[in-house]
Structure 1
Amino acid sequence: FVKQQLNLSPLFQLLWKQAQTYPLFPALGEMEGHMFECVNQAAVHEELEDETRRLCDIRPFLPVLKLVTRNCGRAERLLDSKIGVLIGKGLHELDALQDQEVKDFRSKMFRISEEKMQRVQKMTWTEWLQACFSPQLENGGGAITDGLNDRPADLKVIIHFDQIKLLNGTGLVPCWLKRLKQTGLQIITTPPLSLHPQVQVRAGLFHGTELLCKTAVSSESSGRSEHTWSDGTLEFDICVCDLPRMTRLCFAVYAVMDKVKKQKSTKNTHLNKYQTIRKHYPIAWVNTMVFDYKGQLKTGDIILHSWSSFPDELEEMLNPIGTIQTNPYTENATALHIHFPEYSSHPIVFPLFDKVRVSAHTQTHIHTHTYTQACTYHVPLYYSSVLLTEMKLDSSCLCSFTLLQILEKGRGGKKFHIELKEIMERDPLSQLCENEKDLIWTLRHDCHENFPQSLPKLLLSVKWSKHEDMAQLQALLQIWPKLSPRDALELLDFNYPDQYVREYAVRCLRDMSDEELSQYLLQLVQVLRYEPYYDCALTRFLLDRAQSNRKIGHFLFWHLRSEIHMPAVSVQFALILEAYCRGSIPHIEVLKKQVEALSKLKSVNELIKLGTIKNARSKTKEAMLTKEAMMTCLRQSGYTETLSDLHSPLNPSVLLSGINVEKCRYMDSKMKPLWIVYNNKLLGGDTLGIIFKNGDDLRQDMLTLQILRLMDMLWKEASLDLRIVPYGCLATGDRAGLIEVVSSADTIANIQLTSSNVAAAAAFNKDALLNWLKEKNSGDALERAIEEFTLSCAGYCVATYVLGIGDRHSDNIMVRSTGQLFHIDFGHILGNFKSKFGIKRERVPFILTHDFIHVIQQGKTGNTEKFGSFRQYCEEAYLILRKNGNLFITLFALMLTAGLPELTSVKDIQYLKDSLALGKTDDEALKQFRQKFDEALRESWTTKVNWMAHNVAKDNRS
């Protein structure tokens, strides 16, 4: 322990003294030209430039320090080392990547960062403080380079694949089988599978989720671990010239096996019949872009290492929404060898926008008269097609004469405008049929003039497999009016992969204030997963805003770093983090202090977990020993210094001065969260509590609390303040994070249990909550507390109903001494309510018990006026959320690939559409909500029964 407290300086001097006894010592040169290097806990090579650091803070992975020579670029090496340690991924790993796109991105970001830091150095103190420490976030030949029409339209897209290397082992593992964690694979099946199954490959070309042409399927191949096709050619029925810029090539590898199914005997025979059914079992999937980051059509041989985890309900086992990154764990991944043929002796390059615009202008000019007539009189393409069928003309050859004939018959006009308006007002989850898409595309200029917010639906109506339509859309996009930032968020969804669409969306986002950007930062980080190339408009936008406002930079850093362990985004997020750090060098030390503090808390948590395992036989002994060990650990100077005087990761505006060790404890739950209490000088001596969790994924809680903050903001914009308490919550790493402790608050369970000697009876004491508020408040303060309770109860009733928040027991609902009620722990959302023995434990749409009503009515049974006001608050709050239903759906849709346990498909988001009654009138929706309100009140006794069971179980545990 004493040795661990030593810093590097005496250790370095001791080593240098011993080195003097060796013959080649003079070759070492000056002592100042050397330093120590180690491999740290994150498996990163760390250069230990600072000799004042202590061993206990460095925590090398092995007790080995290596003496290395300092080079002339000491400052650069030191900065690289700091950034690598800070982001949790050594920069030498990025240096080792043989990827030209990575090199080009880093080079560009390095140049931009240098220019940024040079501008910072020229700033005055006032300018620098405003930029970095704003007091508050603000309110408020064959080469396709000459144009689309010059592209080789007669060429078909063809992919060759030579072989597939399956997972190491002797067979295939269908997704429903258990896999043993070992070098090889052991198959556990009932009945056993054949060791020589047939394997097929399916491939599809996608633009977003739109399949551009029919999928291609290989022949079947037999083998053990390697499968090779003699004629492994997949041909797609689409011309190269019709491929969109963001086309994805998606592969699925699956086993084809015969399954014998026994049929029941019929009346005419007593013999059982057997039927052989061909079953497909997914093995792996992988995606790749058809054009590289420079816009060149890929050619040559490529090896794609696949992913084996399949999302639910994949069409044809293809996963277009999945990552285009290949699996970095190559040893145990299915390897797919493919070959892109060369169509020309020159690289085929997707045309630049100027060429596309010229093409669009030419096409428009050819049909000017026809097109103008169609747009003016609202004649839809699908309607025209019906009339033209009799004339045996194709709708794409629509001529002026035919249009004028239609118009003379009085067709079109106002009817189609009304129909278009109805389509545009639908929510984002509503599907468009082909006729509706044709109508929208035909009336695109009408959409531009009268329904600019309808751009997402117009984009879904484009035939992305026709380069003529792509050119027209991109030209139209240049004159499209700006959307509000909230509406533009939808355009960052996976369904809109086009580069120019996403650049347009980012232009709209630039109108966001820093406060609004902070509100949606969680989603903006997640949709980076949808960006196929590292250098994109969204990445540049986030870096620019983060480096201009340190608070945004703080949360961008943590949102990225908390997921850097995920293979699909590891390189992408590391590159963005490196770029941020290089452009915000003064921020590095601040963030480094936070990272070190979290590392210390993690070690304390692991110490407690180890202690509870060793002393599991005696709970009392366990509590005493582990609490004592925790105190001893926190009192060590290494821990005290690291955990003191740092900016809170939950809120960088809060400075955590020093730990109040006596008030710190750990919580009695499976993962033993730490309850850390800080003395805070800036809060007049008040303490501040933080819960550190290690082993729980907090990202779903983060999302729910973000939506609660948004609801609070929307209500306040409508002059309705429902006293929401959206406390801080931040994921900081792999199943680790921090939660803010709300001061002067207690759970409903504790309030009830302290009011009764019998745990079973506590839940039915309707006076407990009101009496508790009376103890905390008196006179006018009590009246204010009851009003606070009424408003906050209304807000959380509506919010928990709309979001479908489940597992609402009495330990998940808290009340502040000032009267504010609030909910915590959001492990179940979107209607995923708990059940036991197949019976739902929660049978109410939201929690509204009689003891809540008792408080709202100030303890007076006949106080219907107060209850009427409460009900009015609920209805008003519900209608406000309905008006913003599309925004909620968009925000949840943007989180679909985040890997949250209860948000994995569009079907999960359907719950929001139902709870907000989207598609109904306000009167119909209000009628539905009133029915749910009455149901919650009527069935509140079931909540009391559940709470009684929870209280009894909790009492037994204690």
Structure 2
Amino acid sequence: MPPAKTDQLDLWAESGLDGDDQVMVDFLLPTGIYIQMEVPRESTIQHIKLLLWKEAQTYPLFSLLGEMEGHMFECVNQAAVHEELEDETRRLCDVRPFLPVLKLITRNCGRAERILDSKIGVLIGKGLHELDALQDQQVKDFRSKMKRISEEKMQRMQLMSWGEWLRSCYSTQLETESVENLIDKHEGVIKITMHYDQSQVCSVILYIRDCLLANESPHLTLVHCDVVKAIFEKEICTIGSVLARKASNPPLPLPPKKRTPTVRTLSVFPALQLIKGALSFVPLAVRAGLFHGTELLCKTAVSSESSSRSEHVWNKTLEFDIAVCDLPRMARLCFAIYAVMDKVKKQRSTKNTHLNKYQTIPWVNTMVFDYRGQLKTGDIILHCWSSFPDELEEMLNPIGTIQTNPYTENATELHISFPEYSTQPVVFPAFDKGRGGKKFYIELKEIMERDPLSQLCENEKDLIWTLRYDCRENFPQSLPKLLLSVKWSKHEDMAQLQALLQIWPKLSPRDALELLDFNYPDQYVREFAVNCLRDMSDDELLQYLLQLVQVLRYEPYYDCALSRFLLERAQSSRKIGHFLFWHLRSEMYMPAVSVHFALILEAYCRGCIPHIEVLKKQVEALSKLKAVNELIKLGTIKTKTKQAHLKEAMMTCLRQTGFIETLSNLHSPLNPNILLAGVHVERCKYMDSKMKPLWIVYHNKLLGGDTVGIIFKNGDDLRQDMLTLQILRLMDLLWKEANLDLRIVPYGCLATGDHSGLIEVVSSADTIANIQKTSSNMAAAAAFNKDALLNWLKDKNSGDALDKAIEEFTLSCAGYCVATYVLGIGDRHSDNIMVRSTGQLFHIDFGHILGNFKSKFGIKRERVPFILTHDFIHVIQQGKTGNTEKFGNFFRQYCEEAYLILRKNGNLFITLFALMLTAGLPELTSVKDIQYLKDSLALGKTDEEALKQFRQKFDEALRESWTTKVNWMAHIVAHPS
């Protein structure tokens, strides 16, 4: 690994394909001695240290080193920061230092804690020393509090019996009855016998393996359990314990005495420095606005103009027409810096009078109150963001993050100063409880039944607020509309709302989700919502976990009700913890959330130490797969290597010892209940698309010898696919709750990093394109062969099995017709619609949703509301042209029934998409995108009107199905292989 090698060449070297298994490393010793020696690149850090110690004995001053265990290595990692290699079980090829230089340093005290910190840092993708270096009291307080809670939890777990601990970790896999009977502890030996159910035994082994990584445990003996022993023989061992330690954290000082400040208006003094780019040479102004959610609390304030080459000082205090005592707790101050266009030469067109569409406008947001509830005072430096969303009113971005840009070197700095309002800190006051009168108006019902996207006029808001106790009595689920009717700039209204929340009936978890939207930032409202979510089962929480993680972006403070709720549930359920980890870990590369997500990940790891090794193995496995993918891409682009040679290179790579050990015996990130035993190298391949996804096949002894396939993608953003598949899974649940099973196949999909992730391979399935091509000698004619699909099903099934397969096809086709129409899923060609040999039809690849259909030369390529071709109908009618009853009376009825069920849950779908608005998905960036759902579900119309609209779309899909065939023909001709 010489320094002169490029990253691409290093990939070849790392894979071992250049035949170089040794690497020259420079070792720097604390005695001042420099040693250069070759070491195996597959060796662990511990083995390399042994080799160095043996070599160092021949050098001067060796006796001054002392004990080997008192030292560890330090390197500069790929992120160009110092990393201490506490975890010496890692291999050098996995550490991948920036340069082949390892520095030997003396260990400090508290080695066990340092090892734990090192493991957590590697696992979450952000070294804890980076968090240590942050000069942010909120970060320090949150970490201290979470560490104390986690250590107390680990201490409680130490006192649990084996069975109690087993149930707490694997509650979804084991029955709660007498788990201890599976385990016989006697004279320091644990025995597990095979006369119990194999899946239970395997779960016990999984559990014990995890425990051994965190606790002093006796040796493990497996009695008559060959299958389990074969899988775990390398994993089961006794490891030094990592005991929970009691932290000596001093109590926080008592907050200042709460007081209501005198009536003064809020003001702020801005100054700007370090202007970058063209903004340095034009007159600039600052616009500032106070927001509660997306509601502007008062008129925006604008500074005077300033023109300078380096620094801009406006010498003006920005006054906001709102009393300090009327500021809501979650008020945020939003800034935008812009060029004064009438002073600039009009050589470029403009979007409006303020914003030149070619000019980047820096923006930044900050909270008015800090995380302790104290009104901010004094000088603050804010580092601005440069990417500015389009179509924002007042040129401000209230929905944007309140975190400042961490890339300070190239960011515009905005210096602001909050005045001192009193000699004591101004603390947000507690609300008084009070009640108003009670009336009832029948017109309230019509307002409350509207969908979440409907706007309320001022008269309607006044009516709702006046009848707020009637809302509580008769329309408790209407709480979001009541919140939109509150005048957040009046502390009297806020006080009355707080009193009302104390007596508001608990909402169902599905209804409570809407309260976590950005429009409802009040902390008491969000605490109320989280309290309602506590009624969720683990399965229901997993259903909405994707949105709940994204909602963390809306939380201005790290220690909030939602963060605590997610941590509590994750630490009590291994499956929830698994997916919480990956949803957070996959977005650690985003600067706006990296600190917040890192803090939650650290807190989770400290509270679930046994889970660290399990997750660490998954992270390492994904790193290996990424290296293989980069190898394939490099061979394709640079060396033009033939496909057969690249596949052989891929297999050679997968057969290496380091790859085999890392990729074997790990829990699948897609489903932690599945153990991936070992790679079936001969069946692995890479797919011939732009990003060269890897098709990896695993043996799985726990599934009776069946194989498990996963696709690893590197270069594609899978988050939109994740969202679509989540909604399909929800639709399937809603239909089943209404006793309608439409055989949906919501396969697994998980984003694991920056444009990388995994997709589950659905077994025994093929694409419509392949089915059609194998039945025709001419590619152009394949799409028009209506018998191809039915004949394929006949080949796979016979007798009663064929009837069952046709029934499966009919139900699943109905489900996907409705689902793809409601979600506006586009780019539906014959390569992304598949059929299982059992008859289930399903769709894949969801790069275009919410009506964003593909077009060419300005002409829409897809002109049907959903895919319903004549060969589909041919299968539904069992190949009998006259069998119209099966199609008309059954298939069409399934579609209509499914559509009406989704309509009843229209508000839930809108809420789930609204909660994802700040995730950065390419086709979900504004409320306008969600409007498609409102139109497709015909919300605001009666069921009869909506059904009439759907029937028109159904007839249109039938009438225009020939255009789908033409598109499919063009696709098959363009992609013959």
- Please give the TM-score of this superposition, normalised by the length of structure 1: 0.87
SS, match of residue 355 in structure 2: strand
| 1:528 counterpart = 2:552 | yes
1:31 to partner: Cα distance: 1.8
SS, match of residue 442 in structure 2: helix
Match of residue 321, structure 2, among 220, 237, 241 = 237
Rounded to whole Å, the distance in 2 between the matches of 1:709 and 1:660 is 30
SS, match of residue 283 in structure 1: coil
Amino acid at match of 1:212: L
Change (3 A) 1:297 1:598: same
| 1:880 counterpart = 2:901 | yes
Change (3 A) 1:138 1:528: farther
Deviations 1:367-395 (A, max 9, x none): xxxx53xx23x4xxxxxxxxxxxxxxxxx
Match of residue 308, structure 2, among 223, 228, 235 = 223
Change (3 A) 1:84 1:825: same
Corresponding position of 1:346: 424
Change (3 A) 1:914 1:232: same
Deviations 1:826-875 (A, max 9, x none): 00000000000000000000000000000000000110111020000000
Match of residue 592, structure 2, among 568, 590, 606 = 568
Rounded to whole Å, the distance in 1 between the matches of 2:138 and 2:420 is 21
Match of residue 921, structure 1, among 899, 922, 942 = 942
Deviations 1:398-442 (A, max 9, x none): xxxxxxxxxxxxxxxxxxx22100000000000000000000000
Q: Residues 434-473 of structure 1: matches in 2 within 5 Å?
A: 434-473=458-497
Corresponding position of 1:382: none
1:125 to partner: Cα distance: 1.1
Change (3 A) 1:341 1:722: same
| 1:115 counterpart = 2:139 | no
Given that 2:338 and 2:354 are in contact with CA atoms closer than 8 Å, whether structure 1 keeps it comes out as: no
Deviations 1:460-518 (A, max 9, x none): 00000000000000011000010000000000000000010000000000000000000
Amino acid at match of 2:74: E
Given that 1:37 and 1:65 are in contact with CA atoms closer than 8 Å, whether structure 2 keeps it comes out as: yes
| 1:939 counterpart = 2:976 | no
Corresponding position of 2:604: 580
1:164 to partner: Cα distance: 3.9
1:223 to partner: Cα distance: 2.1
Aligned length: 857
Change (3 A) 1:819 1:442: same
Change (3 A) 1:700 1:197: same
Identity of aligned residues (%): 83
Amino acid at match of 1:306: C
1:11 to partner: Cα distance: 2.8
Amino acid at match of 2:380: I
Given that 1:44 and 1:84 are in contact with CA atoms closer than 8 Å, whether structure 2 keeps it comes out as: no
| 1:280 counterpart = 2:355 | yes
Change (3 A) 1:928 1:442: same
Amino acid at match of 1:511: D
Match of residue 709, structure 2, among 689, 703, 706 = 689
Q: Residues 416-815 of structure 1: matches in 2 within 5 Å?
A: 417-616=441-640, 622-815=642-835
Given that 2:167 and 2:174 are in contact with CA atoms closer than 8 Å, whether structure 1 keeps it comes out as: no
Match of residue 256, structure 1, among 340, 351, 367 = 340
Rounded to whole Å, the distance in 2 between the matches of 1:89 and 1:52 is 19
Corresponding position of 2:34: none
Corresponding position of 1:385: none
Change (3 A) 1:213 1:138: farther
1:69 to partner: Cα distance: 1.6
Amino acid at match of 1:226: E
1:686 to partner: Cα distance: 1.3
Given that 2:86 and 2:118 are in contact with CA atoms closer than 8 Å, whether structure 1 keeps it comes out as: no
SS, match of residue 688 in structure 2: coil
Q: Residues 855-874 of structure 1: matches in 2 within 5 Å?
A: 855-868=875-888, 869-874=890-895
Rounded to whole Å, the distance in 2 between the matches of 1:112 and 1:296 is 25
Deviations 1:640-692 (A, max 9, x none): 11101000000000000010111100000100000000111011111111000
1:41 to partner: Cα distance: 3.8
Given that 1:161 and 1:337 are in contact with CA atoms closer than 8 Å, whether structure 2 keeps it comes out as: yes
1:598 to partner: Cα distance: 0.2
CA RMSD of aligned residues (A): 2.0
Given that 1:648 and 1:656 are in contact with CA atoms closer than 8 Å, whether structure 2 keeps it comes out as: yes
SS, match of residue 713 in structure 2: strand
Given that 2:124 and 2:585 are in contact with CA atoms closer than 8 Å, whether structure 1 keeps it comes out as: yes
Change (3 A) 1:674 1:349: same
| 1:332 counterpart = 2:332 | no
Rounded to whole Å, the distance in 2 between the matches of 1:9 and 1:849 is 62
Rounded to whole Å, the distance in 2 between the matches of 1:277 and 1:9 is 63
Corresponding position of 2:92: 55
Change (3 A) 1:225 1:809: farther
Gaps of at least 5 residues in structure 2 are 1-20, 23-39, 177-253
| 1:296 counterpart = 2:374 | yes
Rounded to whole Å, the distance in 2 between the matches of 1:524 and 1:787 is 37
Change (3 A) 1:734 1:275: closer
Rounded to whole Å, the distance in 2 between the matches of 1:123 and 1:41 is 41
SS, match of residue 382 in structure 2: strand
Corresponding position of 2:107: 70
1:624 to partner: Cα distance: 1.6
Rounded to whole Å, the distance in 2 between the matches of 1:790 and 1:297 is 62
Rounded to whole Å, the distance in 2 between the matches of 1:105 and 1:331 is 27
| 1:910 counterpart = 2:934 | no
Rounded to whole Å, the distance in 1 between the matches of 2:98 and 2:731 is 46
1:25 to partner: Cα distance: 3.2
Rounded to whole Å, the distance in 2 between the matches of 1:881 and 1:279 is 43
Rounded to whole Å, the distance in 2 between the matches of 1:133 and 1:675 is 30
Rounded to whole Å, the distance in 1 between the matches of 2:842 and 2:174 is 25
1:124 to partner: Cα distance: 1.0
SS, match of residue 403 in structure 2: coil
Rounded to whole Å, the distance in 1 between the matches of 2:562 and 2:455 is 27
Change (3 A) 1:832 1:275: closer
Rounded to whole Å, the distance in 1 between the matches of 2:798 and 2:847 is 36
Deviations 1:780-830 (A, max 9, x none): 000000000000000000000000000000001000000000000000000
Rounded to whole Å, the distance in 2 between the matches of 1:472 and 1:671 is 56
Given that 1:42 and 1:88 are in contact with CA atoms closer than 8 Å, whether structure 2 keeps it comes out as: no
Corresponding position of 2:261: 151
Rounded to whole Å, the distance in 1 between the matches of 2:762 and 2:793 is 17
1:261 to partner: Cα distance: 7.7
Given that 1:311 and 1:904 are in contact with CA atoms closer than 8 Å, whether structure 2 keeps it comes out as: no
Gaps of at least 5 residues in structure 1 are 173-194, 263-273, 365-370, 379-416
SS, match of residue 808 in structure 1: coil
Given that 1:144 and 1:351 are in contact with CA atoms closer than 8 Å, whether structure 2 keeps it comes out as: no
Rounded to whole Å, the distance in 2 between the matches of 1:276 and 1:681 is 62
SS, match of residue 590 in structure 1: helix
Amino acid at match of 1:813: I
Rounded to whole Å, the distance in 2 between the matches of 1:772 and 1:782 is 11
Corresponding position of 2:124: 87
Amino acid at match of 2:365: N
Rounded to whole Å, the distance in 2 between the matches of 1:710 and 1:163 is 49
1:53 to partner: Cα distance: 4.1
SS, match of residue 35 in structure 1: strand
Deviations 1:295-323 (A, max 9, x none): 11101111100111112211111000100
1:40 to partner: Cα distance: 3.6
Rounded to whole Å, the distance in 1 between the matches of 2:355 and 2:48 is 63
Deviations 1:308-354 (A, max 9, x none): 111221111100010000000111111111100101111111113xx
Rounded to whole Å, the distance in 2 between the matches of 1:275 and 1:555 is 45
